[in-house]
């Protein structure tokens, strides 16, 4: 048995392997509702053999959507729609997970193929909120700084969304505190210039994340895991960095978080990212070692042997794939063949398992 295809136990949930579908926005919802696209997209990835299948980021409030076309989880109609995908994912032997999010000052943005920057109110956009009234970039809408009541409303929205996620049948919940969205905006001194209990010191800047995590851990049944995605660094001098990420991970561990999903960047257009295969793996490795907490590695992980090595070296406990799975939804089946592991195929496709899985499908 390879490391990649060893089960991973997170509390009372067993992932059948160490391959996870990273949350990927589809920009295909209306009023935050899932539809046939989401069922086919998520269901196909579950058929492909991933052990953990995350939805895209689900906004906990309408104004927390990255774009007007984003998925949401602020009402029961959305939860009921997602339950269909949850049922199908489970039927394929995978574990369904959902990422709860609030986009903060990066909300009300155009879907990538529709433009860039903020969607104006006349075109269906809105004025976003943030820790401080600082826009993401020139030409973006200036956000409204959250007051105490607004912060409490955000915490309550995460709690309410978590309850709805449980009602829909999700077995893993991840809090999105990365990529320059609201919780990351509170963490970074580049976007958080508050002078109250939620700004200034490390303790204050991490307060909102800790309060949300603590609230969700109290809501979730003991047997269900809670994950947090962070940007381990802003890639900007004077911003959030790896040292602070390690310190935060220690706090999250004490609050009952079961795994830190280690990404990076997204907060500032001034970021200078050192891209390369597995470029974020060292973040996962250091947090895993120094915080003593399981980690997930994500970012330019494309080959089975690469994923296997990450786990074999103890750099992470889970690998999350995104664009590679868009190119190749059955990557886990190819990985199994490449590593010499027999894994179950959907019964309807079993006759194809006897043949060869293409070692690489055309890139799109």
CA distance 58 to 60: 6
- Indicate the length of the chain as a whole number: 364
* 180 vs 242: CA distance, rounded Å: 15
**8 Å CB contact between 96 and 85:** yes
C-alpha distances in Å from residue 224, one per residue of 15, 216, 320: 12, 11, 19
CA distance 228 to 266: 16
Give first-to-last CA distance, the chain, whole Å: 32
Helix (H, G, I), strand (E, B) or coil at 213: helix
Q: CA angle 180-181-184, nearest 5°?
A: 70
Q: Which of 181, 198, 279, 349 is catalytic?
A: 181
Buried b (16+ CB within 10 A) or exposed e, 45-74: bbbbbbbbbbbbbbbbbbbbbbbbbbbbbb
Q: How far is CA 125 from CA 65, 67, 130, 352, in A?
A: 10, 8, 16, 47
- Number of helices (H), then strands (E), belonging to the chain: the values are 12, 12
CB atoms under 10 Å from CB of 300, counted, come to: 16
Question: For residue 307, with 0-12 CB atoms within 10 Å meaning exposed, 13-18 middle and 19 or more buried, which class applies?
Answer: buried
Q: Is 279 tagged catalytic?
A: no
Rounded-to-integer distance, Cα 54 and Cα 263, Å: 15
User: What's the CA gap between 165 and 156, in Å, rounded?
Assistant: 14
Q: Which of 264, 137, 158, 271 is nearest to 212 (CA)?
A: 158
Q: Which residues are annotated as catalytic?
A: 181
């Amino acid at each position: 048995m390879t490391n990649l295809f060893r089960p991973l136990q997170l509390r009372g949930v067993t992932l059948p392997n160490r391959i996870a579908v990273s949350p990927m926005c589809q920009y295909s919802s209306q009023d935050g509702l899932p539809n046939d696209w989401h069922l086919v997209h998520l269901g196909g990835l579950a058929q492909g053999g991933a052990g953990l299948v995350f939805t895209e980021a689900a906004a906990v409030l309408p104004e927390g959507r990255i774009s007007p076309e984003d998925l949401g989880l602020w009402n029961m109609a959305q939860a009921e729609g997602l339950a269909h995908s949850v049922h199908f994912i489970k039927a394929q032997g995978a574990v369904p997970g959902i990422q709860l999010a609030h986009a903060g000052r990066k909300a009300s943005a155009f879907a990538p193929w529709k433009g860039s920057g903020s969607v104006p109110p006349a075109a269906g956009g809105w004025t976003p909120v943030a820790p401080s009234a600082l826009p993401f970039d020139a030409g973006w809408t200036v956000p409204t700084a959250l007051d105490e009541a607004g912060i409490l409303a955000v915490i309550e929205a995460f709690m309410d969304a978590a309850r709805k996620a449980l009602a829909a049948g999700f077995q893993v919940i991840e809090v999105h505190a990365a990529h320059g969205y609201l919780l990351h905006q509170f963490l970074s001194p580049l976007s958080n210039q508050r002078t109250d209990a939620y700004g200034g010191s490390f303790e204050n800047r991490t307060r909102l994340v800790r309060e949300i995590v603590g609230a969700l851990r109290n809501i979730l049944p003991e047997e269900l895991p809670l994950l947090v995605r962070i940007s381990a660094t802003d890639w900007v001098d004077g911003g959030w960095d790896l040292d602070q990420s390690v310190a935060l991970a220690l706090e999250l561990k004490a609050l009952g978080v079961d795994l830190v999903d280690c990404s990076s960047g997204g907060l500032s257009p001034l970021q200078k990212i050192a891209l390369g295969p597995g470029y974020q793996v060292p973040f996962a490795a250091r947090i895993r070692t120094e915080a003593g907490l399981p980690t997930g590695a994500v970012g330019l992980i494309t080959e089975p042997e690469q994923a296997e090595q990450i786990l074999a070296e103890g750099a992470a406990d889970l690998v999350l794939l995104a664009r590679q799975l868009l190119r190749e939804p059955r990557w886990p089946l190819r990985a199994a063949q490449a590593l010499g592991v027999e894994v179950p195929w959907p019964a309807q496709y079993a006759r194809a398992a006897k043949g060869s899985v293409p070692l690489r499908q055309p890139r799109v």
